[in-house]
Amino acid sequence: MTLKKAIVNMTGKTSKSVQGIQRLPEGMGGLAKGLAIIEAFSPDRTRMTVSDAAISAGTSRASARRCLLTLVELGYLEFDGKYFRPQPRLLGLGNAYSETRSLPVVAQPFLAAARNELQESISLAILDRDAALFVARAEAERLVTTGIGLGTRIDLYCSATGRVLLSAWRDEQIAAYLGRTRFAARTKHSLIKASAICDAVQKAKRLGYAVTDEELEIGLRSIAVPVVDSRGSVVAAMSASASSARITVQQMIKGFVPVLRRHADGLGRVL
């Protein structure tokens, strides 16, 4: 499968409308030209001039040059004054596709097992820039309306899942994220001060789980734990949500965390 097709498959579905979701324009000519240039590289063509790129993408030299320089700025290509060459960062695009396509399949049995034990819906999310992207879910019979479904992206600061993903970052990365993010309250219980969110993330780092109590939606509580792969890297967060009328925060911590951890650890061992 080509890189262009892979990215279309990853972004083709429309996410549900919730806080923090970002949508792409329906048509992006510059992106198509950039992808065409990337795909023109091969074992037989390891470097290109502006003219080569223009011919490969079927565009003007000026347009090809803009695309090439943008790819250089982003770290995908290098430029020696005449030739453009691929950089290792390009590998991340293919890896991101393969990992997000295979992870939901591998994770589904673990999500289903956790759901069967807890009788609550279980979700799996991965880091996608400054958002949590939900890539797998096992629904419980008694549905809790969360506004979260497959393909949903939600800001890291406002969810238990996001705070677990943030907790894997270095302190300076967390500080940089909090400094560039605008916080918006979803309910009267939402944390919208950088200091309070930082404390919640540090607590998640210390305890190994994060909880939100009616911060996303009144009447909804959520709890999440990290999924750590065999190399010790946090690759995802597994979470459960429940009605605040049925369960307290302390009951969730006592009853949900051990189950989520067991299945998150099981998933991590096979990754």
SS3 per residue for the chain? CCHHHHHHHHHCCCCCCCCCCCCCCCCCHHHHHHHHHHHHCECCECCECHHHHHHHHCCCHHHHHHHHHHHHHCCCEEECCCCEEECCHHHHHHHHHHHHHHHHHHHHHHHHHHHHHHCCCEEEEEEECCEEEEEEEECCCCCCCCCCCCCCEEEHHHCHHHHHHHCCCCHHHHHHHHHHCCCCCCCCCCCCCHHHHHHHHHHHHHHCCEEEECCCCCCEEEEEEEEECCCCCEEEEEEEEEECCCCCHHHHHHHHHHHHHHHHHHHHHHC
Q: Which domains does the chain have, with CATH numbers?
A: 3-87 (1.10.10.10), 93-270 (3.30.450.40)
Global pTM reads 0.64
Per-residue pLDDT in tens (0 to 9) along the chain, 271 residues:
443 343 334 334 333 333 333 333 444 677 888 888 888 888 778 899 999 999 988 889 999 999 999 999 998 999 999 999 998 888 767 666 655 568 888 999 999 999 999 999 999 999 988 899 999 999 887 655 556 777 888 999 999 999 999 999 999 999 999 999 999 999 999 999 999 999 999 999 999 999 999 998 999 999 999 999 988 999 999 999 999 998 999 999 999 999 999 999 999 998 8
